Structure 1
């Protein structure tokens, strides 16, 4: 058997094994089968939250104004602003930046881009993908009343707005660096005009906007989808399928797409290695900061300060009733007198409820 079909067959077998070993995806056991072992309970869902539960009106208005502004600057910034005065020099011959740009490129006569330019346009598509992804989920939920993505939970609006926040800060910071720093692109520094654009783009090399926005989108979506799969859909799965499908798969697919976009910027002579690495780091960092600020470790939105919360009994075993009191008053040395006061009712706070205490 040729190598390629053999590898494909092995991959298909591994995937089938993972799917069949997952209790959430396998067929239900028959009556004669032994009882399954106890597994961790799926993540309990909280009631749906409104955007005002997680974002203040000021934050909503700020992001709503800055997001279209940042998107317009990202796409048309080279036409809106004059070419910046170069403030950052080109890499010196022999440096890593210079050697990669000198040796990693396509046809210098035609300037053919990597994979026909698909990764170049894919950078913009990847940064817009989360908006389409969450928008479809919200529309489907509003029309049918059901979740389009089982792993998403009732948090489409929070995820959509959190990603808009991620995109906004990443795009604004990236474009500020481009137009204030000013660095010649590789095709300018190495005089390869076959790869050139119009003059307004010649000195916008530092840092890569394709890399920063692609890695911001990949990081945010990987975190969000991974948390939903790991804590909801695969909560009762075996450890290996739970990790492979809930953690490894989303990160591999999305970071693979972002890495392809980043490599194309080197091949197409648009950025140096340092431009791509710093851009990817900035996008990853900002997406991580926004996600951690808006969601907890299980992917449930955090409520903003000042939102009233209720108290509801938690899912715990029934408390053991206390023993009846003795008619004799316990002495200081008796165990009853030295035993600490025990609270048997435990509660957890849920969004949208209020805590009321009656004082004597």
Structure 2
């Protein structure tokens, strides 16, 4: 049996579903009922909770919605071209001389053989990159469950929250991408420019706008880079020098992950599968959705938020002093004021 692109893409999506299933199962566990302790009421500023119940971040409705829509979006992403009829073209090809047209005309491989960019690795890598976060969190959660220790020192204890948040990001990105593809029906460059060596089959000839490889790759890169960066910057490198903290905690994860996503996006242009505008819009959609989901579910240090939008490590405010004590303190602590003047301030 020869492994084709649909086979490998289905394999990557199956991995994504398999590794996410423990998260979907554990998500149904009720939150433990714990009474607040004296230590919990006096948490230091940099406190990171050891365990946060998932139900304090996600409501049962949100968990159920993700549980249903996530596998649906994965199936549509892989098999949508076979499940649905080819869309009626509703968006024309770029006008000759436009930027889209010039990039597609000049940036391509061998027009006779249709040899893919870098041997086709980025083509399959788009699916692998979208499955990478779930594999990453799944391995971390499994290791923690078996050993009681963190596999990634920068990750902290919120593997389950990160998994669910990424599934949420993937779901909305995939659904929006596929809805645009089947409603817009834009011809791919190999159709518009008559370069059939790059073609797949008729079911995908008019699914150019916008790029699913770009949207899902940038969604995965944005979420994983943000999560790893927050862990490195605020945990592992909290006491490091500012330059080292920035380079290792911010620049490194973003450069590696966005570099991989950009390579995938460039391959879509080179392989005549998408126009430049398809790739740019896809990258923007994936980035924005992941950033929105992450900021909604986590605070600035990567700590899960409650459903009210408050970070879970915020200690309650101390009880205010009685009004009489506040007034007395405001009067008696006024430096440089004579005693008789202080009396005048207290008793008009």
TM-score range, shorter chain: 0.7 to 0.9
Q: Is the 8 A contact 2:125 2:264 kept in 1?
A: yes
Matched ranges for 1:187-266 at <5 A: 187-266=190-269
Aligned match for 1:270, one of 273, 279, 296: 273
1:334 is matched with 343
1:72 is matched with 75
**What 5-or-longer segments of structure 2 have no aligned partner?**
1-43, 319-327, 333-338
Matched ranges for 1:1-360 at <5 A: 43-305=46-308, 333-334=342-343, 337=346
1:341 is matched with none
How far the C-alpha of 1:312 sits from its partner, in A, is 5.4
**What 5-or-longer segments of structure 1 have no aligned partner?**
1-40, 316-321, 339-360
Q: TM-score, normalised by structure 1?
A: 0.75
Where 1:303 maps in the other structure, the secondary structure is: coil
C-alpha distance after superposition, 1:174-216 (max 9, x if no partner): 0000000000000000000000011000000000000000000
Q: Is the 8 A contact 2:89 2:184 kept in 1?
A: yes
Root-mean-square deviation (CA, aligned residues, Å) is 2.6
Cα 1:88/1:47, change in 2 over 3 Å: same
How far the C-alpha of 1:50 sits from its partner, in A, is 1.4
Q: Is the 8 A contact 2:223 2:290 kept in 1?
A: yes
Cα 1:278/1:310, change in 2 over 3 Å: closer
Cα 1:284/1:199, change in 2 over 3 Å: same
Query: Mean alpha-carbon deviation: is it higher for 129-138 or for 298-307?
Result: 298-307
Q: Is the 8 A contact 2:48 2:313 kept in 1?
A: no
Number of aligned positions between the proteins: 287
| Distance in 1 between residues matched to 2:189 and 2:68, nearest whole Å | 34
How far the C-alpha of 1:45 sits from its partner, in A, is 1.1
Where 2:287 maps in the other structure, the secondary structure is: helix
Cα 1:152/1:311, change in 2 over 3 Å: closer
C-alpha distance after superposition, 1:35-63 (max 9, x if no partner): xxxxxx99321231111010000100000
Where 2:254 maps in the other structure, the secondary structure is: helix
Q: TM-score, normalised by structure 2?
A: 0.78
C-alpha distance after superposition, 1:194-241 (max 9, x if no partner): 000110000000000000000000000011000000000000000000
